[in-house]
Structure 1
């Protein structure tokens, strides 16, 4: 991913108001991000832990998505969950159902979509092996890192397609 500015981030959001986009908390380490290792920028709002955001290239433009993370605290410590973007298996609340209000008329009517995502939204680092989960990548996949990156991007693109549908 190419480096992006605060202005580009704030103007990219498609499922929240301009006022909400102006008020959301940005990652404190934006200037230090390793942009070549990111397929999308994802973060949790430091002032509102149930809120998460992602900004990704989509069909020739940047698209920002406001997400709401489920509590998910009822699962046992040893329970495993898998992210539907990067296929990383994690325990202890490392994956949560995140919902996004749909765009357009469907969103104005209150319709949303959900996806199980890494709670820290660091999928790009997991598929590259830069970050690992406590469980490890236990799928014993034969797919190489480039294939895992392509699959994660396809899964994210599918999520974004549903957002606009």
Structure 2
């Protein structure tokens, strides 16, 4: 992913109003993000930890979606798998995140969900740049590039549902 500006991010959102996009809290470390290792930029609002955001390049344009984290504490013995990057995490390391659909469907309160890494660091897990706590990656024969493509494809499929 190429580096993006605050204005790029704010104008990319497809499932919230312009006013909501203008008021959302951006990551403080935007300039220090590892852009070359990101398939998407994901972060949480520190004032509202159940509210997250994902921005990615899609078809040559930026697309941003707002997410709601479904709070659910799980014991350390429970493991979940991210449906985007297929990384497993113990406890609450994987969470259901819902996104209001774009357009009239979203205004009618329709939403779609995805189980994803709670910290939204899928890009770093796939590349081996970050290791999950006590979880791990499944042993698989795919190359890192193939896993990156798979993660991008799964994110794209989720965005298709948001935009439909």
TM-score range, shorter chain: over 0.9
1:23-62 paired onto structure 2 within 5 Å = 23-62=23-62
Rate the CA distance shift 1:138–1:62 in 2: closer, same or farther, 3 A: closer
1:4-153 paired onto structure 2 within 5 Å = 4-73=4-73, 75-153=74-152
SS in 2 for 1:106: helix
Matched length = 164
Q: CA RMSD, aligned part only?
A: 0.9
TM-score by length of 1: 0.96
How far has the Cα of 1:60 moved from its partner? 1.9
Q: How many angstroms apart in 2 are the aligned matches of 1:7 and 1:138?
A: 35
Deviations 1:85-122 (A, max 9, x none): 00000012111000000011111111000000111111
How far has the Cα of 1:138 moved from its partner? 4.2
Q: How many angstroms apart in 2 are the aligned matches of 1:124 and 1:138?
A: 13
SS in 1 for 2:76: coil
SS in 2 for 1:4: coil
Q: How many angstroms apart in 1 are the aligned matches of 2:10 and 2:163?
A: 19
Rate the CA distance shift 1:33–1:138 in 2: closer, same or farther, 3 A: closer
Gaps of 5+ in 2: none
SS in 2 for 1:129: coil
How far has the Cα of 1:64 moved from its partner? 0.5
Rate the CA distance shift 1:97–1:55 in 2: closer, same or farther, 3 A: same
Q: How many angstroms apart in 2 are the aligned matches of 1:61 and 1:69?
A: 25
Q: How many angstroms apart in 2 are the aligned matches of 1:99 and 1:135?
A: 26
How far has the Cα of 1:18 moved from its partner? 0.9
SS in 1 for 2:136: coil
